[in-house]
Chains A and B, each alone.
Chain A
Amino acid sequence: MTVTLPPPSSQFQERRTLLYQPGLKRNRFNRICNAIAATFALIAILPLFLVLFYVLIQGGRLISPRLFTELPPAPGLSGGGIGNAILGTILVTVIATAISVPVGVGGGVYLAEYSSRGWFAQFVRFGNDVLAGVPSIISGVFIYGLIVATRFFFDQSYSAMAGGIALAVLMLPTVIKTTDEGLKLVPQELRWGAYGVGASRFVTITRITLPAALTPIATGVVLAIARAAGETAPLIFTALFSPFWPEGVFNPIATMSVLIYNFAIMPYEAQNELAWAASFVLVILILAANLLARWISHLTKA
């Protein structure tokens, strides 16, 4: 029995060639879409270059030793520096880190090590995601209502402490989440090994699992610090501002971010220039922290 194939039609063969045909409608559509995607990607990275360019040019030319050692000038006068604001940003960020890292790492340890699938852990994870979505200005309003308006610390209203706590509220979700997820990546065998040689749960967590998850946790913490250092909204009415050097943690304090906000909207040239200079310092610090975080996270991958 023979199978009779239909005679090959020339039209059929022509239409089904396997060669790439640039003129086909779908290939033209493909090229148009490629071009659109490339254009969108260009537009997306354009603002980074424009912002960095202006911050580096406008702020960079003002960099001098005075900038770091002097106080901002009174309105109308020129010269001066942002020394108090740099110190203030460091102080407020340190307070925020000192509060949020122990609390966040502890909370993350509970989620990952003690109750990974329990209802309470699920509830805390949900709450953590909600807290991460709370606008930063709300954190400022919260601390204003809780600490500033009630004069919680030694009858002081605005204070560096209040600002630091407001930033800690913003950092906490990031620290908890990175700890939780970092610990989940630690192989279960490490824990079994520790229990096997007779280690207690406390020793296992503090000596085995936490060190093993150090890299992702450190990455998350550095990113959270970088974000907190640039936050302004929670500080405007908690840490407020001060034209003087920091006078302890229970007094109002200047920070670079609030300085940028205050000085950008002043009608004085000298203040506007200091705002650019503060932006320069802040952006360099934050970009350096981000690159540091990337470097940390690459340490173990390599």
Chain B
Amino acid sequence: MRSPSTIDAFTLRRRPPAEKLTDIGFRQLTLVLAGSVAVILLAIFLTVFQGAHEAIATFGLRFLTSSSWNPVNSQYGAFVAIYGTLVTSILSLLIAVPLGLGTAIFITEDLIPRRLREVIGLMVELLAAIPSVVLGLWAIFVMEPAIRPALSLLHRTLGWMPFFSTEPQGPGTAPAVLILVVMVLPIITAISRDALNQVPVELRQGAYGVGTTRWGAIFNVILPAAVSAITGGVMLALGRAMGETMAVTMIIGNSLNFSFSLLAPGNTISSMLANQFGEADGIQVSALMYAALILMVLTFIVNVMAQWIVRRLSLRY
């Protein structure tokens, strides 16, 4: 019988070469796969840049300010689309931020039973899951006819303002803004809800302890504590609104002419791409790639700013 002091079982096992190779190989494989993100990003930028090269050389920075988009004599300027992209996304956020933030407060502060809050939260998440193209279909056949009388009224009463100076005749910028609101609302609500949920419970208790009302606590304590994450979420939603394609393409009217009026047909960079890319050739493809490059740079700036805001502005409790 062996004595217990000689512990044979504990001699170090030599790792067989096959095992070592598998380990190293697996690590290298995952490294390559992780690196694919960087490769894809770079490839996207290079492909679009290379496609846009010809248009950049031909039109230069005039492309940003010229509003003529004329395939017949090959004159291209993306001002109408850039203006439309900025106007629709910013206007939709102006409407969606109060709505989304209000909804988020409603389902995080205990105004209603927990069960009901969860149901409303689930509904907002399901709204986010509905495909953009289905919302576009709904916008064409249901929403736009339904809101046209209201838009007509807006034109008759406020028609002296350049923003409402045309008679609404179907697709236009205003319905596109409204459908964008529907699309970004779930993002803003979800991110605001997470931000509000992460505010430490001690802050709430402290606020109520000194005798404030619910909305006193919300405006003076809870919202300031969550402001960085909410701002980051709003920026992410702005990026999403600028790049949103299908629903907007189907309802904005895809006009190539500039108009200040929100009731007239307009255009955005992404809807111009969706509309024209399939049939374009020659320098028009290049001009569209140039527009795509501008859209990429815009969304890139907005997204990086969003991440920077979240990291920079986060309060230390």
Contacts and interface: CB of A to CB of B under 8 A. Distances in A.
Interface of A: 26-27, 29-30, 33-34, 36-41, 43-45, 47-48, 50-51, 54-55, 58, 102-104, 106-111, 113-114, 120-121, 123-124, 126-131, 133-142, 144-146, 149, 169, 172-173, 176, 198, 200-202, 205, 226-227, 229-233, 236-237, 240, 257, 260-261, 264-265, 272, 275-276, 279, 282-283, 286-287, 290, 294
Nearest to B142: A54
A45 B289 contact: no
Contacts of A146: 43, 47
Classify the secondary structure of A's interface with B. Answer: helix
Which of B19, B129, B143, B242 is packed against the most chain A CB atoms within 10 Å? Answer: B129
A137 B270 contact: yes
B131 A283 contact: yes
Interface of B: 13, 15, 19, 22-23, 26-27, 29-38, 40-41, 43-44, 47-48, 50-51, 98-103, 105-107, 111, 120, 122-127, 129-138, 140-143, 182, 185, 189, 213-216, 218, 236, 239-240, 242-246, 249-250, 270, 273-274, 277-278, 285, 288-289, 292, 295-296, 299-300, 302-304, 306-307
A37 B106 contact: yes
A44 B289 contact: no
A173 B129 contact: no
Contacts of A27: 213
B124 to A, nearest CB: 6
A272 B140 CA distance: 11
Contacts of B27: 110, 114, 201
Classify the secondary structure of B's interface with A. Answer: helix
B134 to A, nearest CB: 5
A205 B125 CA distance: 32
B265 to A, nearest CB: 13
B134 A279 contact: yes
B213 A233 contact: no
Contacts of B189: 44
A7 to B, nearest CB: 25
B37 A107 contact: yes
Contacts, number: 270
Given A233-B274, A237-B278, A55 B134 contact: yes
A149 B47 CA distance: 11
Given A38-B106, A110-B31, A200 B15 contact: yes
Given A133-B236, A144-B277, A286-B129, A138 B44 contact: yes
A40 B245 contact: no
A237 B277 contact: yes
B197 to A, nearest CB: 16
B103 A41 contact: yes
B35 A283 contact: no
Contact of B41 (A109, A131, A202): A131
Given A40-B99, A121-B34, A145 B289 contact: yes
B120 to A, nearest CB: 6
Contact of B13 (A26, A41, A198): A198
Contacts of A138: 44, 48, 243, 292, 295-296, 299
